[in-house]
C-alpha cells in the first residue's frame, strides 16, 4: 500500500519526519524491552478498562499505545504511521502533529473504556492513534491516491470511509477476534471531531488567553469608570468649597477629599 503525490509514487524512499521518527524509535524501543523483559507489562501499562475506575490507573490511557503484542502488530502500526504520518507532519509541523497523535491515541482509549468499562482484558497498541492519523490524512488530502495492497488505486477519502465502515461494523458485531475495534473506531471519531470542530490546542490556548485579556480589559474599564466617578465627586466638592468654604463641608465630603489627596499624590509618585 502506498500513495501517489503529484503523480510521483511515494514508497520506502520517503524520509522520516522528526516526530514520526521519534515515535517509531520509542515504540520499537519499548517493544524490544517487552521482548526481553521477564515481567508482563500489559496489566500495568496496557489499558485495562476496569482498572481505570477501580484502581485509578489513569496513566494506562497514555501508556497503552506504546505497547504491542507482537512483531507484526508493531510493524503494521509503524508502517501506517510512516505512510500517512510523515505527510501530515510536513503539513502541520511536528508539535501539532505530536499533539494530535497523543490526543487521538488517548481518545481511542477513552472511547474503548466507555464501551467496555468492565473488561479486564488489557488493550495495547498504537492502532487507535494510527486510525486517527488515517482519518486526518483522508480529510486533509481527500483526493490523494492510495494503492490498496499495492494494486488497487483508491482516493484517500474513500479509503478512510471503507476502513471506517469495516471498523464500525466490527466494533458492534462482537466478533471476539481479540482486536480492539472500539479503540480503532475511537481514534477515527476523536480525530474527525478534533479536525472538524477545530479542537487544535493552540486555539484552545488562544481562547483562554483572549478570555483573560477580556477579563483584564473589563477590570481596567471598571477601574477607569470608578476613577471618573470619584473625580466627578471631588470636582463637585471643590465647587462647593468655592461657594461656601471648607468648614461647611460634611464629614463624608472631607473624607473624600483626604482620599483624593492620597490618590493624586500616589499618581504623582508613579
Q: Is the pLDDT of residue 72 over 90?
A: yes
Q: What is the DSSP letter of 184?
A: H
Helical pair 181-196 and 94-115, crossing angle rounded to 10 deg: 130
Q: Is the pLDDT of residue 145 over 60?
A: yes
Q: With pLDDT > 70 as the criterion, what percentage of the chain qualifies?
A: 81
Q: Is the pLDDT of residue 63 over 80?
A: yes
- C-alpha 217/C-alpha 207 separation (Å) is 15
H or E stretch covering 21:
helix 18-36
Q: Is the pLDDT of residue 88 over 90?
A: yes
Residue 33 CB: number of other CB atoms within 10 A? 13
Beta strands in 61-167 (DSSP E): 145-148, 152-155
Nearest Cα to Cα of residue 68 among 23, 32, 37: 32
Q: Which pLDDT value is given to residue 126?
A: 95
Q: Is the pLDDT of residue 11 over 80?
A: no
- C-alpha 191/C-alpha 105 separation (Å) is 9
H or E stretch covering 95:
helix 94-115
Residues with Cβ within 8 Å of 119's Cβ and at least 6 positions away in sequence, in order, are 48, 49, 50
Q: Is the pLDDT of residue 164 over 60?
A: yes
202-227: per-residue pLDDT in tens? Answer: 565 666 676 767 776 666 777 777 77
Q: Which pLDDT value is given to residue 147?
A: 74
Strand, helix or coil for residue 5? strand
Q: Which pLDDT value is given to residue 7?
A: 35
26-40: per-residue pLDDT in tens? Answer: 999 999 999 999 999
Q: Which three cell numbers stand for residue 260?
A: 483624593
CA-CA-CA-CA torsion sign (246, 251, 255, 258): positive
* Mean of pLDDT values over 102-129: 94
Structure confidence at residue 86 as a pLDDT band (50, 70, 90): very high
Q: Which pLDDT value is given to residue 239?
A: 79
Q: Which pLDDT value is given to residue 206?
A: 64
Q: What is the pTM of this model?
A: 0.69
Class of domain 2-199: mainly alpha
Amino acid at each position: 500500500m502506498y500513495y501517489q503525490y503529484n503523480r510521483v509514487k511515494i514508497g520506502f524512499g520517503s524520509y522520516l519526519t522528526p516526530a514520526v521518527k521519534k515515535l517509531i524509535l520509542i515504540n520499537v524501543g519499548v517493544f524490544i524491552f517487552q521482548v526481553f523483559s521477564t515481567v508482563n507489562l500489559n496489566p500495568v501499562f496496557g489499558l485495562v478498562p476496569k482498572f481505570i475506575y477501580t484502581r485509578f490507573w489513569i496513566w494506562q490511557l497514555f501508556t497503552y499505545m506504546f505497547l504491542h503484542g507482537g512483531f507484526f502488530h508493531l510493524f503494521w502500526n509503524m508502517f501506517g504511521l510512516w505512510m500517512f504520518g510523515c505527510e501530515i507532519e510536513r503539513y502541520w509541523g511536528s508539535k501539532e502533529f505530536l499533539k494530535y497523535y497523543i490526543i487521538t491515541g488517548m481518545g481511542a482509549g477513552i472511547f474503548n473504556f466507555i464501551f467496555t468499562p468492565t473488561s479486564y482484558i488489557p488493550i495495547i497498541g498504537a492502532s487507535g492513534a494510527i486510525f486517527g492519523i488515517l482519518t486526518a490524512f483522508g480529510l486533509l488530502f481527500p483526493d490523494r491516491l492510495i494503492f490498496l495492497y499495492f494494486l488497487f488505486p483508491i482516493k484517500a477519502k474513500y479509503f478512510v470511509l471503507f476502513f471506517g465502515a469495516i471498523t464500525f461494523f466490527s466494533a458492534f458485531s462482537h466478533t471476539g477476534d481479540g482486536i480492539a475495534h472500539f479503540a480503532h473506531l475511537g481514534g477515527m471519531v476523536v480525530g474527525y471531531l478534533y479536525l472538524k470542530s477545530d479542537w487544535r490546542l493552540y486555539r484552545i490556548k488562544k481562547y483562554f488567553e483572549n478570555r483573560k485579556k477580556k477579563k483584564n480589559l473589563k477590570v481596567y474599564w471598571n477601574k477607569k469608570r470608578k476613577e471618573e466617578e470619584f473625580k466627578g465627586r471631588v470636582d463637585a466638592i471643590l465647587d462647593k468649597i468655592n461657594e461656601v468654604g471648607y468648614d461647611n463641608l460634611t464629614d463624608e465630603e472631607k473624607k473624600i477629599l483626604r482620599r483624593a489627596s492620597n490618590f493624586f499624590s500616589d499618581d504623582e509618585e508613579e
